[in-house]
Every structure is written in structure tokens, then in C-alpha cells.
Amino acid sequence: MSNNTSNACINDSTNQINIIFVGMYSFISIVGLILNLIALVVFCNNGRTRSHTVVYMTHLAFADLLLILTLPMRIYYHLGFTGLHQWMCNILGLVLKANMYSSIFFLMFICFDRCLAVNFPMSAPVQKWRKKAWLVCIGIWLLTFGASVPIYLSKPSNQTQDKCFDSIPVFAIQPIVVLPTLFVGFGLPLVLMLICSWFLVRAVRRSTVAQTNLVDSSKISKMITTSLLVFLVSFLPYHATLLLLSLNRHNITCPMLDAHRYSLMVACVNTVLDPVAYYFTTDTFKKKVDMGAFRRMLPLNSQSSDLTRRGRVAEDS
């Protein structure tokens, strides 16, 4: 790895305002915070009818919020301010990466859970498995943070403060780390989502259940498309640049390092796309926001309404 090259790339951006990063991270922080807070309010006030998929969505919103809380310090850094301690940069980086992979696994299980709901609506073993959604969520948190902590504890301690968020992910691009990251953290979820999407499409076209009015086929198609697009647009660039850095770890150039920074920023945009792609395509979330998500928080508005259950098998089950 060329330290002179990496230092030159970092020194060129030190003490300078980076409008693109400041603007994008500010947009993600504001819009993502609002959307995910709304999502949490709706889901937490929907406790009586909380479905298994909503459990994953709730944890997804929480993971996105934790990621967003790390962005103000990145905005501060890209405004040209220095003096941030490297340990703080490392901790914030750990929280960001851990929650990014938590989001990936929650997205994967949302897709998997919907696939089970549509293809096996009457299967007792499947329903028994789906009821363990909260255990799966705990396992995801333990996996993502448990796998991330050793990486950041192994970071070299001789990095200067000015590098902070621009430092090269030295340990993360080592083959022993990057290969499991690519296959388990990105490849496996992508493959499983593709398989589940295929089964969902097949269910819409062939299944007897899917031909009844219990399932809205157009809405399922929209969810399938948006889920895959969100996943690929958000996470493919980052993992592609991670692989590029690993293959060229002894000769990293400025364009490679810039590609890594921008791809990480694109991955953070996922916190804004998640509510749009998943929450707003479910009847429960959309109708609660439009009619009563916040009114129900008032003591004089405790009346309940019968929401239509059409499409709940694929959307909110």
C-alpha cells in the first residue's frame, strides 16, 4: 500500500469544505431522520396488530436511525474542521458499518418473510418459524456488531487525526476479512433476495392463494422491484470498491480512495430509501400516516378503525 499516495489524497481534502459530502450527508441526516422516526412511531403504535414482517421493519428503522446519528460528525469533518480524535472516528465508523450490515440482513429477512407468507400461508411449521422474528433480529444485531468490533480493535493506532473518515480501511480490505464480508454480508443476502423474489413472482402468477383477493399482485410486483433496486443501488457500489481496494491494496490510488468514499455515501442513502421502498408500500403504514398515526397519540382520539386486510399476506404479514 502506498502511504505517500494515500497521504497526498487525504492532505488535498484536509481543511477544505467538501460541498458534495456536506450536502448529501445533511440531506440523508434530515430526511432519513424524519422518515425513520415516522416509521418507528407508526410501528410502535401498531402493537396490537404487529405482524412478523413489521418486527423486521421496526429493527430496520432503528438500525437506520443509529447510522444516521453518526453522520453529523462526518458533516463536521467534511466542513474542513480538524482535531477529531482517531478513536472517535473509529467508533463512529464501527457504528455506521455495523448498522449498514444490520440493514442488509433486515432487508433480506423482510424479503424472506414475505416469500414464506405468500407461498406457505397455511403451513404450521412456517408460521411457527415466522413467530421467531424477534429472535432473528437479536441474532442479526449480535452478528453485525460482533463481527465489526474485532475489525476496529485491530486498526493501527498510529493514524493521524486529520485522516479520520478519509483513512484507508487497512484491515477491512485484507483478504481474510473482505472475502467473508463480500460473500456473507452482501452476496448471500443478494442471492437469497433474488431467489425469494423469483418465488414471489411465481406465486403471483401460479399460486391459487395469489389469485384470490387476499393478495394485490401489482403491489407485490412493485415491492419486488423496489426491494431489489434499493439493495443494488445502495450496496453494490460500496462492495465493488471494497473489492477493488483489496485487489490493489499495495498500490491504492487517489481515484480508488475517492470511489470508496463516494460509494460509502451512496450506501448511507439507503436510510432514506428504506422507508420509501418498504414502509410506504404497506397498507398499515400508509394509512396510519395519512389518517391517524399521530392523532392516536392524543388522549381524545383513541377510536380504532377497521383497516382493509387485502394484500396483508404479502405486505404486512
Q: Give pLDDT tens digits for 191-210.
A: 999 999 888 888 777 755 55
Confidence of residue 293 (pLDDT cuts 50, 70, 90): very low
Q: Which pTM does this prediction carry?
A: 0.82
On the question of pLDDT at 236 being above 90, the answer is yes
Q: Provide the sign of the torsion angle of the four alpha carbons 286, 287, 289, 290, taken in this order.
A: positive
Percent of the chain with pLDDT over 90: 38
What pLDDT score does 150 carry? 77
Q: How far apart are CA 241 and CA 263, in angstroms?
A: 7
Q: How far apart are the first and last CA of the chain?
A: 50
Range ranked top by mean pLDDT from 98-102, 195-199, 296-300: 98-102
On the question of pLDDT at 311 being above 50, the answer is no
Where do the H-state alpha helices sit in 185-269?
A: 188-206, 217-247, 254-268
Burial class (CB in 10 A: 0-12, 13-18, 19+), 120: middle
Cβ(105)–Cβ(167) under 8 Å? no
| H or E segment and range at residue 92 | helix 86-119
- 185 versus 291: which is more confidently predicted? 185
Burial class (CB in 10 A: 0-12, 13-18, 19+), 285: buried
What pLDDT score does 168 carry? 81
CATH number of the domain within which 285 lies: 1.20.1070.10
Residue type, 48: R
For residue 2, the number of C-alpha atoms closer than 13 Å in the C-beta half-sphere is 14
Cβ(2)–Cβ(67) under 8 Å? no
Confidence of residue 298 (pLDDT cuts 50, 70, 90): very low
Number of structural domains in the chain: 1
What pLDDT score does 303 carry? 40
Q: Kindly state the cell numbers that stand for 48.
A: 396490537
Instruction: Tell me the mean pLDDT in the region 142-148.
Output: 90
Domain hosting 56: range is: 3-315
What pLDDT score does 191 carry? 95
What pLDDT score does 84 carry? 78
On the question of pLDDT at 57 being above 70, the answer is yes
Residue written as grid cell 463516494: 262
Phi and psi dihedrals of 173, rounded to 5?
A: -100, 5
pLDDT in tens, 252-286: 888 999 999 999 999 999 999 988 876 656 655 55
Percent of the chain with pLDDT over 70: 73
Q: How far apart are CA 218 and CA 305, in angstroms?
A: 25
